[in-house]
Amino acid sequence: MLADIGLDRKTAISALLEARRSQRATTTDWLTKARRMFDGSLNNMLGSYTLNNLKTKGFIPNDFIEHKIKFEALKCYTVEEMTKFGFTFQNLREMGFRPIHFIDLQWQDYTLLKLSATTMLETDMNIDDVFRTGLSVQQLKELEFTQQILEDIGLTDNTRDKLCSEEDFILYFGSKFKRGAVAKTQHKEHHAITRANITNEPEDSTSNLAFEF
């Protein structure tokens, strides 16, 4: 009589599936624990390890973003080290780079981060932030700042001296300060009209009265 192996086969398959489920659960638990260890170790490594060391360990810029590491934590490294690691200005913005941080940049850092007026304005900087960078009008011109951009973020004729002299402003932007010029012209026109109105006012009739006897 032949043995019925159907039941034994079903039992073997069920046992195999259960073993695989257990293995998957164990693997998932291990990955969860490893991820938690990874979170803590990356923060602890900053400053103690160079970015090149972290790169050889397999870390990439997105790891810093995913684990909510702030830009402030990277200030122990130079911008050159950051860019060699693979950080872009977009990465730094996602990590909390704000206009105040431009103060810490050297002129060569603007090239390394491929900065321009357009990318800098993405941080919502205003004219006071521009003044704080300490950049010269020539450097601003190289970064593709224009007179219109500077006016749009708050530059006025009264604050232009914080940036440069009127001569330099004309030299790099090709014209006098638009808003200031308009304001001065309007003021002169208003003053001229006022004087004209006074001149053309009819004389007081009492001043022309002749004394009759």
Q: How far is CA 81 from CA 50, 51, 54, 64, 95, in A?
A: 8, 7, 11, 15, 16
Using one digit for the tens of pLDDT, what is the confidence trace for 45-103?
Answer: 998 999 999 999 999 999 999 989 999 999 999 999 999 999 999 999 999 999 999 99
Q: Which residues pair with 49 in a beta bridge?
A: 46
**What pLDDT is stored for residue 28 in this prediction?**
47
**What pLDDT is stored for residue 6 in this prediction?**
61
**What pLDDT is stored for residue 210 in this prediction?**
44
Average pLDDT, the chain: 80
Give the span between the Cα atoms of 132 and 26, in whole angstroms: 55
pLDDT beyond 60 at 116: yes
Q: For residue 57, with 0-12 CB atoms within 10 Å meaning exposed, 13-18 middle and 19 or more buried, which class applies? A: exposed
Amino acid identity, position 113: L
91, 97, 102, 106 alpha-carbon torsion, rounded to 10° = -40
Q: Which of 65, 66, 45 is nearest to 55 (CA)?
A: 45
Give the span between the Cα atoms of 168 and 162, in whole angstroms: 12
Using one digit for the tens of pLDDT, what is the confidence trace for 148-205?
Answer: 999 999 999 999 999 999 999 999 998 766 554 443 434 444 444 445 454 455 545 4
* Close Cβ partners of 130 (under 8 Å, ≥ 6 residues apart): 140, 145, 150, 153, 155, 163
**What pLDDT is stored for residue 14 in this prediction?**
72
**What pLDDT is stored for residue 34 in this prediction?**
52
Give the span between the Cα atoms of 65 and 114, in whole angstroms: 20
pTM comes to 0.65
Amino acid identity, position 42: L
Coil vs helix vs strand at 83: helix
**What pLDDT is stored for residue 22 in this prediction?**
63
pLDDT beyond 70 at 1: no
Coil vs helix vs strand at 49: strand
**What pLDDT is stored for residue 26 in this prediction?**
53
Using one digit for the tens of pLDDT, what is the confidence trace for 14-55?
Answer: 776 677 666 655 544 555 445 544 555 888 899 899 999 999
**What pLDDT is stored for residue 205 in this prediction?**
45
